[in-house]
């Protein structure tokens, strides 16, 4: 059998001295993890190691490391120590979130039939192209999807290996485990809800908020904050407060994204104008707009419905925006964002959080919200 | 956030009094696990809980529980205790193998584009049919694949949650973790090798054996035996011996399956005659046949190659069998099986294994090999 390999916290990784330093530190940790996996899988077969290299390149290509950053912020909020050995173990666990995210993105890109991500071909498309280049036999598209499913599974398994590793003190594993378990179930449930909602044409505001909460807010902000705080031994009260802060901020970020997906300037967002409408994305903005228009202006509601999920001319796009604006949906979402952010920062103020860590979290949250504007 | 839930070892589960009792006990454990997951996901959304019910039904529908059985056998070989609390914890870990297997089967059925399994529609096909029944919008086939990918991911995550659960003593988790990690990497690497081998038309005997070793032997027999023995605190010597026994037996089982896939009687195998040839499966039998025919009878080798991966008439099938027989491949595989089984049982005799557990393992191994005849 292949010798087992384990990920150990390396002494080469610098402990982040601020949340801004987390992305670079996390990337160093990821590189070390993939070095180990490359070596282990090369013993099974060099062709598998080559695919692992592609998984590594995908995981390391860009990405803002939002989840490790929030997790580290949660660690610091709960007074997590920065002496080297302990902080490195915490950083390793925070970084494992990027392996979950690699799986989520790879599988999501298959589900969304996306061709590109971060300016490069998605994993299943890149693997499909290799099949074509090598003039292999069979259906290249199906080969790409098949191998990408398996690479996503590997990333998910390796994330779990990090958190379960016996190189981490059992005390840390015990604190992390229930949050880690809940987070994975929630994000997968959120993805299922998203797929089901799109297929069933669920237009309800509730459904849109539920997907946001589980697929985005919990997974991206609330659970990472709680994970980090657990690493520092946070009590239940602080954990719950950080969960509430994270849910509020996470939903606010997503609502901001939803506004940009319809009203955003392509020059600033980097995405085509009205992208979400064309893609037929069931956002809260759209749900609110349809709900209000159904009550006040059924003809406009019908018109808006006819413009979901198909290519739109500039005039049609302008019309869709006007309907959402007239229905009060744009304003309602803006107000909701303001309220969520205010409540989140109030909740943060009320919690027993280290003051410098609080400032850092506000800075990070504002930077992430700002980047999306 | 959704309350976290954890799987605990139930007092309602009977401890198996023999390896034959493992399947029933494992099913009771699985039912309890799914009850918890159903309750947790119902709090997220009833539609997700409904999909979890389908995952549960798939996992509980048949299946011989081979992996938990070998794991339990490994536990007993290493002298694992049968007093209730400890044995139940061991059984819970052994049973988690069935959740890994649920993911492997669901994702494999997508990869193999299989329509049925155990006489029922595969998960992605069943979900596709629901989409059609409900006259939902979008591509029903793609919906089936998308939701099946995510249900497989859930099963994989839940398997890992069992093994990482803080309800298990840290001592047990520490022993299990490196084997669990290696096993998941190996089976996924084996699946990747299988997909790559088929696409690249790799005909080598080496490639066929490598896929068998990682995708089947290690995952089905060797690692489960080692996992179980680790639960009982086996030392490195015993673990290595059980790994060798499991590799040998696992490869022997697969070779027997390969023979049946070409020479088997449909009335006994329950599969169409010559199934593996028609499916284009790159078995060791085929690799050995092509290798020998290339050397001795190139015309026959070319003829055999022309019959891989397409529908065959009865005459063509008879001709393919004759070529494999004349090339000595059938005999070579039979001899190899006999040698592997003999060596495995010798290795088992040489190991410090509890005598009654040894007898049970031989019985189980023989039953599984026999069932496939």
Residue in A with minimal Cα distance to B198: A137
| Whole-angstrom distance, CA of residue B335 vs CA of residue A288 | 71
Q: Give the pLDDT confidence score for residue A83 in this predicted structure.
A: 85
Give the distance from residue A301's alpha carbon to the nearest chain B alpha carbon, in angstroms: 19
- The ranges of chain A with pLDDT < 50 are 1-5, 371-373
Q: Do the chains contact at B150 and A174, CB–CB below 8 Å? A: no
Q: Give the pLDDT confidence score for residue A280 in this predicted structure.
A: 84
Q: Which of B185, B207, B247, B310 to mutate to test the interface with A (most CBs of A within 10 A)?
A: B185
pLDDT band, very low/low/confident/very high, at B151 (cuts 50, 70, 90): very high
Question: Which of A110, A137, A160 shows the shortest C-beta gap to B201?
Answer: A137
Contacting residues of B for A165, CB less than 8 Å apart:
177, 181
CA atoms within 13 A on the CB side of B173: 25
- DSSP character for B16? P
| Whole-angstrom distance, CA of residue A46 vs CA of residue A49 | 5
H helix intervals, chain B: 22-44, 46-60, 66-77, 84-111, 123-133, 140-164, 170-200, 205-211, 223-231, 236-263, 266-269, 275-279, 284-296, 298-305, 314-326, 329-350, 355-372
Contacting residues of B for A188, CB less than 8 Å apart:
150, 153-154, 157
pLDDT band, very low/low/confident/very high, at B72 (cuts 50, 70, 90): very high
| ipTM of model | 0.94
Average pLDDT score over residue span B231-237? 94
Q: Give the pLDDT confidence score for residue A62 in this predicted structure.
A: 81
Q: Give the model confidence (pLDDT) of A4-45 as tens digits.
A: 445 555 556 778 999 999 999 999 999 999 999 999 999 999
Q: Do the chains contact at B150 and A44, CB–CB below 8 Å? A: no
pLDDT above 60 (res B371): no
Pick from A218, A347, A98: nearest CA to B44: A218
Give the distance from residue A329's alpha carbon to the nearest chain B alpha carbon, in angstroms: 25
Q: Which of residues 35-74 of B touch A (CB under 8 A)?
A: 37, 40-41, 44-45, 47-48, 51
| Whole-angstrom distance, CA of residue B216 vs CA of residue B218 | 6
Percent of chain B scoring above 90 in pLDDT: 80
* CB neighbour burial string for B193-209, b if at least 16 within 10 angstroms, e if fewer: bbbbbbbbebbebebbb
Choice between B124 and B85, residue whose per-residue pLDDT is larger: B124
3-state secondary structure chain A: CCCCCCCCCCCCCCCCCCHHHHHHHHHHHHHHHHHHHHHHHHHHCHHHHHHHHHHHHHHHCCCCCHHHHHHHHHHHHCCCCCCHHHHHHHHHHHHHHHHHHHHHHHHHHHHCCCCEECCEECHHHHHHHHHHHCCCCCCHHHHHHHHHHHHHHHHHHHHHHHHHCCCCCHHHHHHHHHHHHHHHHHHHHHHHHHHHHHHHCCCCHHHHHHHHHHHHHHHHHHHHHHHHHHHCCCCHHHHHHHHHHHHHHHHHHHHHHHHHHHHCCHHHHCCCCCHHHHHCCCCHHHHHHHHHHHHHCHHHHHHHHCCCCCCCCHHHHHHHHHHHHHCCHHHHHHHHHHHHHHHHHHHHHHCCCCHHHHHHHHHHHHHHHHHCC
Give the distance from residue A298's alpha carbon to the nearest chain B alpha carbon, in angstroms: 22
| Whole-angstrom distance, CA of residue B257 vs CA of residue B215 | 14
pLDDT band, very low/low/confident/very high, at B10 (cuts 50, 70, 90): low
Q: Give the pLDDT confidence score for residue A372 in this predicted structure.
A: 43
Q: Give the pLDDT confidence score for residue A264 in this predicted structure.
A: 87
Q: Which of B155, B170, B180, B181 to mutate to test the interface with A (most CBs of A within 10 A)?
A: B181
Contacting residues of A for B154, CB less than 8 Å apart:
185, 188-189
C-alpha distances in angstroms, A157 versus A101, A172, A230, B77, B130? 12, 19, 22, 28, 30
Mean pLDDT of chain B: 92
| Whole-angstrom distance, CA of residue B71 vs CA of residue B179 | 12
Give Cβ neighbours of residue A60 (< 8 Å, ≥ 6 apart): A27, A30, A31, A34
Q: Do the chains contact at B199 and A136, CB–CB below 8 Å? A: yes
Question: Which of B47, B142, B247 shows the shortest C-beta gap to A193?
Answer: B47
Q: Do the chains contact at A184 and B113, CB–CB below 8 Å? A: no
Q: Give the pLDDT confidence score for residue A77 in this predicted structure.
A: 96
Q: Which of residues 83-142 of B touch A (CB under 8 A)?
A: 103, 107, 110-111, 113, 131, 134, 136-138, 142
Q: Do the chains contact at B1 and A186, CB–CB below 8 Å? A: yes
Cβ atoms of A221 and A187 within 8 Å: the answer is: no
Q: Give the pLDDT confidence score for residue B1 in this predicted structure.
A: 43
Q: Do the chains contact at B195 and A2, CB–CB below 8 Å? A: no
- Window from B107-121, B266-280, B338-352 with minimum mean pLDDT: B266-280
| Whole-angstrom distance, CA of residue A178 vs CA of residue A315 | 50
Neighbouring-strand partners of residue B116: B121
Q: Do the chains contact at B113 and A142, CB–CB below 8 Å? A: yes
Q: Give the pLDDT confidence score for residue B373 in this predicted structure.
A: 37
Q: Give the model confidence (pLDDT) of B158-199 as tens digits.
A: 999 999 998 888 888 999 999 999 999 999 999 999 999 999
Could you give all domains of chain A from N- to C-terminal order, each with its CATH number? 1-168 (1.10.600.10), 170-373 (1.10.600.10)
pLDDT band, very low/low/confident/very high, at B207 (cuts 50, 70, 90): very high
| Whole-angstrom distance, CA of residue A141 vs CA of residue A124 | 8
Residue in A with minimal Cα distance to B168: A174
CA atoms within 13 A on the CB side of A322: 9
Residue in A with minimal Cα distance to B170: A170
Q: Give the pLDDT confidence score for residue A373 in this predicted structure.
A: 37
Q: Do the chains contact at B165 and A143, CB–CB below 8 Å? A: no
**Cβ–Cβ contact B306 with A under 8 A:** no
Q: Give the model confidence (pLDDT) of B241-290 as tens digits.
A: 999 999 999 999 999 999 998 998 888 777 788 888 888 888 999 999 99
Pick from B151, B176, B153, B152: nearest CA to B163: B176
Reading the block at residue A215, the tokens are 């697929």
| Whole-angstrom distance, CA of residue B265 vs CA of residue A6 | 46
Cβ atoms of A288 and A333 within 8 Å: the answer is: yes
Choice between B267 and B125, residue whose per-residue pLDDT is larger: B125
Q: Do the chains contact at A200 and B173, CB–CB below 8 Å? A: no
Q: Which of B53, B143, B146, B281 to mutate to test the interface with A (most CBs of A within 10 A)?
A: B146
Q: Give the pLDDT confidence score for residue B369 in this predicted structure.
A: 65
Question: Which of A51, A152, A198 shows the shortest C-beta gap to B138?
Answer: A198
Question: Which of A3, A166, A186 shows the shortest C-beta gap to B177?
Answer: A166
| Whole-angstrom distance, CA of residue A33 vs CA of residue A157 | 13
| Whole-angstrom distance, CA of residue B283 vs CA of residue B204 | 10
**Cβ–Cβ contact B227 with A under 8 A:** no
């Amino acid at each position: 059998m292949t010798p087992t390999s384990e990920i150990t916290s390396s002494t080469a990784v610098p402990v982040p001295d601020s949340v801004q330093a987390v992305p670079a530190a996390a990337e160093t940790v990821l590189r070390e993890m993939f070095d180990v996996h490359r070596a282990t899988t090369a013993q099974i077969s060099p062709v598998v190691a080559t695919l692992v290299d592609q998984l590594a390149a995908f995981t390391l290509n860009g990405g803002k490391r939002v989840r490790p950053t929030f997790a580290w912020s949660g660690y610091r909020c709960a007074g997590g120590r920065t002496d080297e050995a302990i902080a490195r173990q915490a950083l390793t666990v925070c970084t494992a979130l990027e392996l979950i995210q690699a799986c989520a993105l790879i599988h999501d890109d298959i589900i969304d039939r996306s061709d590109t991500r971060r300016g490069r071909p998605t994993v299943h498309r890149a693997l499909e192209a290799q099949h074509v280049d090598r003039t292999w036999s069979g259906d290249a598209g199906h080969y790409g999807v098949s191998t990408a499913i398996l690479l996503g599974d590997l990333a998910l398994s390796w994330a779990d290996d990090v958190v379960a590793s016996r190189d981490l003190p059992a005390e840390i594993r015990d604190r992390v485990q229930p949050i880690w378990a809940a987070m994975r179930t929630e994000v997968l449930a959120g993805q299922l809800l998203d797929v089901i909602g799109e297929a069933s044409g669920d237009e309800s505001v509730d459904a849109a908020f539920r997907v946001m909460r589980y697929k985005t807010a919990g997974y991206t902000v609330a659970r990472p904050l709680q994970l980090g705080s657990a690493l520092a031994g946070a009590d239940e009260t602080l954990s719950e407060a950080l969960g509430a802060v994270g849910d509020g901020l996470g939903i606010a970020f997503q609502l901001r994204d939803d506004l940009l997906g319809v009203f955003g300037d392509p020059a600033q967002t980097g995405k085509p104008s009205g992208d979400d409408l064309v893609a037929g994305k069931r956002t809260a903005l759209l749900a609110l707009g349809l709900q209000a228009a159904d009550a006040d202006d059924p003809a406009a509601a019908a018109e808006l419905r006819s413009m979901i999920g198909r290519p739109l001319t500039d005039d049609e796009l302008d019309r869709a925006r006007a309907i959402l604006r007239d229905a009060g949906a744009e304003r309602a979402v803006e107000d909701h964002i303001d309220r969520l952010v205010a409540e989140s920062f109030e909740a943060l103020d009320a919690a027993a959080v280290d003051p410098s860590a609080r400032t850092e979290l506000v800075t990070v949250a504002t930077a992430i919200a700002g980047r999306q504007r």
